């Protein structure tokens, strides 16, 4: 049990350090980045390393980032058997949608599995919409999963369990937000209150 909590703490610490490094690199782009004191989460405006992705949603439809142009897109990496970060974050995103009211129709939450071996299309279809029927679960094969995680500069790693199929997956416990034009804008560290996320999403939808 102690080792699990140590891994969880490590994932959060890595996420916070990563957010700091992203913020600093965005600020070091020769003044190209437009500062926005209004955001309550880490502002990534000016960083464009995530161009697109190619995955399949839990309905079996091929998806890419440009499919959601015109909406703010929130991307979270996780897996259905995650005991803590994932259900907590998804529940927070559900609360964000409620707080947004009618504006929630202009927001798309994407849950990208880092465990395609166990997270089948059917399992994602039964898990993800439980938080909000508009949420989509995305998956790819091992190669596609590795690519999309690398593109986001995120990470994941299996931690062996007592049996071959009882492993856990350490992963980046944060969310990434794109504006309606498909530009990467925000990094939301794990544990942010729904009110702070709602505040920033409203700004992106203005």
Strand partners, 95: none
pLDDT in tens, 145-165: 999 999 999 999 999 999 988
Q: Which two tokens stand for residue 88?
A: 């907590």
pLDDT in tens, 118-149: 999 999 999 999 999 999 999 999 999 999 99
Considering the domain 2-29+39-204, what is its CATH architecture? 3-Layer(aba) Sandwich (3.40)
Look at residue 29 and tell me whether its pLDDT is greater than 80: no
- Is the CB of residue 132 less than 8 Å from the CB of residue 76? no
Q: In whole angstroms, what is the distance from residue 46 CA to residue 22 CA?
A: 10
How would residue 48 be classed by pLDDT, with cut points 50, 70 and 90?
confident
Strand partners, 175: 76, 188
Instruction: Say how far residue 49 (Cα) sits from the centre of its chain.
Output: 15
Look at residue 11 and tell me whether its pLDDT is greater than 80: no
Please, what is the Cα angle at 18 between 154 and 24, to 5 degrees? 130
Q: What is the pTM of this model?
A: 0.83
Distances (CA, A) of 125 to 13, 117, 157, 170, 182: 31, 15, 24, 22, 25
Sorted by where each begins, the domain ranges of the chain are 2-29+39-204
Q: Determine how many CB atoms are found less than 10 A away from the CB of residue 80.
A: 18
- Is the CB of residue 38 less than 8 Å from the CB of residue 196? no
Percentage with pLDDT > 70 across the chain? 82
C-alpha gyration radius of the chain? 16
Q: In whole angstroms, what is the distance from residue 73 CA to residue 68 CA?
A: 7
User: Is the alpha carbon torsion for 122, 123, 126, 128 positive or negative?
Assistant: negative
Q: Is 171 annotated as a binding residue?
A: yes
Distances (CA, A) of 37 to 42, 43, 63, 206: 10, 9, 33, 16
Q: Is 14 annotated as a binding residue?
A: no
- Is the CB of residue 175 less than 8 Å from the CB of residue 110? no
């Amino acid at each position: 049990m102690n080792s699990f909590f140590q891994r969880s703490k490590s994932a959060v610490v890595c996420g916070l350090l990563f957010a700091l490094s992203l913020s600093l690199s965005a600020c070091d782009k020769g003044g190209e980045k437009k500062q926005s004191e209004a955001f309550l989460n880490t502002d990534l405006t000016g960083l464009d390393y995530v161009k697109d992705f190619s995955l399949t949603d839990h309905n079996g439809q091929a998806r890419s980032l440009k499919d959601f142009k015109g909406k703010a897109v929130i991307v979270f990496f996780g897996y259905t058997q995650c005991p803590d970060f994932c259900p907590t974050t998804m529940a927070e995103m559900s609360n964000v949608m409620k707080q947004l009211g009618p504006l929630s129709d202009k927001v798309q939450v994407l849950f990208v599995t880092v465990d395609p071996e166990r997270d089948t299309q059917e399992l994602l279809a039964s898990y993800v919409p439980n938080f909000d029927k508009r949420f989509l679960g995305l998956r790819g094969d091992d190669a596609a999963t590795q690519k999309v995680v690398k593109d986001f500069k995120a990470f994941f790693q299996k931690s062996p369990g007592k049996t071959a199929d009882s492993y856990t997956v350490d992963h980046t416990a944060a969310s990434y937000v794109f504006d309606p034009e498909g530009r990467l804008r925000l990094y939301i560290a794990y544990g942010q209150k729904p009110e702070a996320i709602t505040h920033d999403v409203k700004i992106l939808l203005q």
